[in-house]
């Protein structure tokens, strides 16, 4: 009976011991996974600009900056202080034709008196100091510029992370067939070209780091 009890205790203790060993190994597995992920991210991000720089570049190339737009508004108001110069020139041809009798003699003469006049006037539109006529157009232009900037930032952000995913695929899980690998590299080049058009930060050969890391 004593031997049977010892066997039962040993059998019941084995699953618990196995679970304890598995739980003890979990931190090691998690640490290895985190370390590998950090290594892959380090390789993928090598040579890449920061996302903030990409967004700023896309915003700057999409439309005029916010400071420029504010300058437009100020100049619209100040334009009212700039006078409008109006110059006028007038030429008159006056003549008097006299026909008649004077002291028993006949009078017939023509008197001509030409005249020239030049004037200058300065006209001010002081109402524009309160609200300029072009201010509504400036506000509309500012709204359009802001819309273009937001759209450019959103597109650049999407393309940036799409490019990183392509680089990660080439590095961590490259296609086994040459055709699939070539197709993936073409996709990477297409995304890179779009990013360069948006930001000017990616030139020829910007995707070489991904290829070198995947080989």
**Is the pLDDT at 181 greater than 50, yes or no?**
yes
**Is the pLDDT at 68 greater than 50, yes or no?**
yes
Residue spans per domain, the chain = 80-123
Angle between helices 135-172 and 51-62 (to 10 degrees): 140
**Between the CA of residue 135 and those of 9, 22, 61, 80, 84, what are the distances in Å?**
89, 71, 24, 12, 19
| Structural contact between residues 198 and 159, judged by C-beta atoms closer than 8 angstroms | yes
Encoding tokens for residue 48? Answer: 């890449």
| pLDDT, position 58 | 94
Q: How many CB atoms lie within 10 A of CB 40?
A: 15
Mean pLDDT lowest among 3-12, 14-23, 55-64, 201-210: 3-12
Each residue's pLDDT tens digit, 115-174: 777 888 877 776 666 666 777 777 788 888 889 999 999 999 999 999 999 999 998 888
Alpha helices in the chain (DSSP H): 2-45, 51-62, 66-78, 135-172, 178-199, 208-214
Each residue's pLDDT tens digit, 80-129: 777 777 888 887 777 766 666 666 667 666 677 777 778 888 777 766 66
How far is Cα 110 from Cα 97, in angstroms, rounded to an integer? 4
| Structural contact between residues 58 and 198, judged by C-beta atoms closer than 8 angstroms | yes
| pLDDT, position 132 | 65
pTM to 2 decimal places: 0.58
Close Cβ partners of 44 (under 8 Å, ≥ 6 residues apart): 164, 167, 168, 171, 210, 213
Encoding tokens for residue 187? Answer: 């996709």
| Count of residues in the chain | 215
């Amino acid at each position: 009976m004593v031997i049977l009890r010892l066997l039962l205790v040993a059998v019941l203790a084995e699953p618990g011991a196995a679970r304890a060993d598995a739980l003890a190994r979990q931190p090691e597995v998690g640490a290895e996974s985190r370390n590998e992920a950090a290594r892959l991210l380090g390789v993928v991000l090598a040579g890449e600009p920061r996302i903030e720089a990409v967004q700023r570049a896309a915003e700057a190339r999409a439309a005029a900056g916010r400071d420029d737009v504010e300058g437009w508004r100020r100049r619209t108001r100040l334009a009212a202080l700039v006078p409008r110069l109006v110059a006028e020139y007038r030429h008159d041809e006056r003549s008097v034709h006299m026909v008649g009798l004077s002291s028993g003699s006949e009078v017939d003469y023509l008197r001509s008196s030409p005249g020239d006049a030049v004037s200058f006037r300065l006209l001010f539109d002081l109402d524009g100091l309160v609200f300029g006529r072009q201010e509504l157009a400036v506000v509309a232009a500012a709204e359009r510029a802001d819309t273009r900037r937001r759209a450019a930032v959103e597109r650049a952000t999407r393309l940036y992370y799409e490019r990183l995913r392509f680089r990660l695929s080439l590095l961590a899980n490259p296609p086994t067939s040459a055709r699939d690998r070539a197709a993936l590299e073409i996709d990477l080049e297409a995304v890179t070209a779009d990013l360069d058009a948006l930001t000017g930060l990616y030139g020829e050969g910007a995707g070489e780091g991904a290829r070198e890391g995947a080989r």
